[in-house]
A and B are shown apart, each in its own frame.
Chain A
């Protein structure tokens, strides 16, 4: 059961959409339901020891899980398809913007910022295609971003925050360091962001 579950999780994780416990039970564990937590524990161990990945629960109410990479970061180049690289680039930019702006931004503010980078929600982007879809659907479904409507706004506005996957896969400290590197400044230049980043390590 454990090896089946390991394979199931590895394949399911390809799209980076969180995996539901219900799916695990239905497709792999089936009649062994009672041993679920034991199987899950052993699976987590195998994933860690064999693949260096960590199985993390990001929603304890709805029982959703993701896989993250637990290996220490290698210095060399990352084997990754270009499409994925580009998306991660955009994602880092968005997450940095949100963090530096106090952990939550309005959609209008985000798109105004992305305009400056030649990324427009209404136009096909030569690298990203339908950017609005990528940001509001794909990144949201993968739980990199948490997008909630702001109540009582007309026309309805959205609020963008870091999603649970982002919280697990990247640290605020790293983001601040990235921003500092790009702007050629010291991270302590932004005092409150710096203390926030230190606090959440």
Chain B
């Protein structure tokens, strides 16, 4: 208590307290009282140190209120004449770039090492999963967990080709799973391959789908409005399907970035 009063450089309270303690100590005859006295001494010396500190800084008086006002001016405050009850506080409106302005000045003085970031981003060990549609995304991850591989999948030596095979297989699964739920509705081809966020992904999807078609695992036909739709072929298709696959059609699909948008 009375800390602030004692700190006041103009008061002698600290000295008085010390003298009082001194006098009291003569009457001390119990250990506990001596301990209390010691505690008091520690407190007193701390206060003494603080007082000494304040002495030092008072030498060249620094008016922090004036400094604050000047800072606000520097940051571009718009001082208003009338008293406004807005949240911006009394005396003015601080623009949104106020602290940016301050920062630009500050940067001139700091020897701050600039941040270093790799231009190409950090290493990712697995190719990121393409986002086709959110529902399909969930089905895709479910599909991946299944270990059952279709008989048509051939094992490749190079990992590069493996990745493509994986993708193709994944896309087949998505197509099949969609079909499980909706057996008689082929999906619009464009809906299936187009990734609204990435042109590159779209091209990749088309590439993978072309594998499925080539291998006869899926087929594309034109619907009533002449738009292409895609559906998986039934696994126990039999001779009829094989004949179909025999009639190879070459389709060139041209899609450039503008069209994609």
Contact = CB atoms under 8 A, between A and B. Distances in A.
A174 B68 CA distance: 18
Nearest to A67: B113
B30 interface: no
Interface residues of B, number: 43
B36 interface: no
Nearest to A81: B115
27 contacts: A11-B116, A13-B113, A14-B117, A67-B113, A69-B113, A80-B103, A80-B114, A82-B100, A85-B104, A85-B106, A86-B99, A87-B103, A88-B106, A89-B105, A92-B109, A93-B71, A97-B67, A116-B68, A116-B69, A118-B89, A152-B42, A169-B112, A170-B109, A170-B110, A178-B105, A182-B70, A183-B67
Interface string A125-156: 01110000000000000000000000110000
A89 B57 CA distance: 24
B106 A92 contact: yes
A153 B56 CA distance: 21
Nearest to B104: A85
A53 B113 contact: yes
Given A78-B107, A116-B72, 5 more contacts: A14-B117, A80-B114, A92-B102, A182-B71, A184-B70
Nearest to A177: B109
Given A68-B113, A79-B114, A174-B109, A97 B64 contact: yes
Interface residues of A, number: 57
A70 B57 CA distance: 32
A3 interface: no
B102 A89 contact: yes
Contacts of B137: none
A192 B59 contact: yes
Q: Which of B42, B59, B89, B109 has the most CB of A within 10 A?
A: B109
Interface of A: 10-11, 13-14, 16, 53, 67-70, 73, 77-80, 82, 84-93, 96-97, 100-102, 104, 113, 116-118, 126-128, 151-152, 168-171, 174-175, 178-179, 182-184, 190-194
B111 A191 contact: no
B53 interface: yes
A91 B112 CA distance: 12
Contacts, number: 133
A101 B111 contact: no
A20 B138 CA distance: 43
Contact of B109 (A104, A127, A175, A192): A175
Q: Which of A70, A86, A91 has the most CB of B within 10 A?
A: A86
Contact of B72 (A14, A117, A190): A117
Interface string B49-91: 0000100110110101111111110100000000000001100
A178 B105 CA distance: 8
A78 B104 contact: yes
B158 to A, nearest CB: 30
B70 A101 contact: no
Contacts of A88: 103, 106-107, 110, 112
Contacts of B69: 116
A102 B43 contact: no
Contacts of A178: 105-106, 109
Contacts of B144: none
B105 A92 contact: yes
A10 B110 contact: no
A194 B60 CA distance: 9
A183 B66 contact: yes
B108 interface: yes
A96 B64 CA distance: 10
Contacts of A96: 67
A128 B100 CA distance: 11
Contact of B67 (A10, A78, A182): A182
Contacts of B115: 13-14
B60 A117 contact: no
A113 B70 CA distance: 13
B57 A102 contact: yes
B109 A190 contact: no
Contacts of B113: 13, 53, 67-69
B12 interface: no
B101 interface: yes
A80 B62 CA distance: 32
